[in-house]
Amino acid sequence: MRPLADRVVLITGGGSGLGRATALRLARGGAVPVVADVDTDGAQETVAQVERAGGRAEWTRLDVTDSADADRVVAQVHSRHGDRFDGLVNNAGTDRGAGVVDVTDEQWNQVVAVNQSGPLFVTRAFLRAVGAGSRTAEREFPADVVNVISISAISVGADAAAYNSSKAALAMLTQVMQREAHEYRWPARIHGLMPSAMNTPMMEQWHLSDEVMMAPDTVASAVEFVLTLPPDTFVQNLVINSRREPGWPR
């Protein structure tokens, strides 16, 4: 297994929920999470929790829907940390519950921008920073990109037109990244995670029972697992489900 110690990992949407749980878990393993979020108060609170637990962390404001902002943040982190910056967790996501008849243009565009375009913008900047596309790039270990997709990419429910569609698109984008990483011998590997419902602020609108939702740290442990795999492996698609979620398997 590859150790986490001293690795610098950018976590989008790190100001709450799964992003915060991931930052805490990776810091316990010795990594330095860079907590990126449009919610700067949340990002700073995540860093404070990491530091209170004895770890190290940084925070930065990042709007994943803005490609220039993604380029700026990745460049800054790479400038500070160099090759130690070798991990990206595309965790930022949003859900504006609405069905096909009721979804507004604004709701649709926002969800697609965060859930689909955001991972592309940040990953593109990250891969350029670690040398993807360069025939001279050499690394002792491959860099890691973890795309937090959702089980909603492979299942459907009413009143989630934008969310289901954007996550299905991210699942396909993840496969494209994995194919290109193989064919073009990127110095990076791409992992896909598909968790079911977690007890996070985003899920409050759905009023699910705590009993059917997973704790964010459960999925954070899966993020830690894929980041520490031996360098000759990657996780194509890991579905993580609660045993108590109704209607599964489907």
- Domains belonging to the chain, first-starting first, are 8-240 (3.40.50.720)
163 is catalytic: yes
Q: Which of 85, 121, 163, 234 is catalytic?
A: 163
pTM for the model: 0.92
The tokens for 79 are: 């400038």
Which pLDDT belongs to residue 210?
59
Which pLDDT belongs to residue 245?
62
Which pLDDT belongs to residue 208?
55
H or E element at residue 166:
helix 161-183
The tokens for 163 are: 């969310």
* pLDDT tens over the chain, length 250 residues: 889 999 999 999 999 999 999 999 999 999 999 999 999 999 999 999 999 999 999 999 999 999 999 999 999 999 999 999 999 999 999 987 889 999 999 999 999 999 999 999 999 999 999 997 655 456 778 999 999 999 888 888 888 899 999 999 999 999 999 999 999 999 999 999 998 876 666 555 554 555 666 788 999 999 999 999 999 999 999 998 876 665 554 4
Sheet holding 238-240, edge to edge: 58-61, 32-37, 8-12, 85-90, 143-148, 188-195, 238-240
Instruction: Look up residue 85 and give its amino acid.
Output: F
Residues 200 and 218 sit within 8 Å (Cβ to Cβ): no
Which pLDDT belongs to residue 197?
76
Alpha-carbon gap, residue 180 to 188, rounded angstroms: 10
**Nearest residue to 152 via CA among 138, 141, 163:** 163
